[in-house]
Structure 1
């Protein structure tokens, strides 16, 4: 699986990451940085791309 591939994440994990990303963007974080932070946060919360 190439780096950055999100196929192993559940729909719920993807949805949560999008919601986190929107929150960072509302705080004025650049879109690319917001996306990076959102996935880092989701990985910390869920433990990574696991199927639940």
Structure 2
């Protein structure tokens, strides 16, 4: 989660970050936010 938080402002500043040209894969800043939300949900439900 810490890495995703660090990546978020970088993806807002430069749209090329997160783009993989060989397979045309990319993610947006909101994809990074979704990753953090999903991690929090997993920790809340499975970290016992």
Same fold (TM over 0.5): no
TM-score (normalizing by structure 1):
0.38
TM-score (normalizing by structure 2):
0.40
Work out which structure has the larger RCO, using CA pairs closer than 8 Å and 6 or more positions apart in sequence: 1
The structure with more radius of gyration: 2
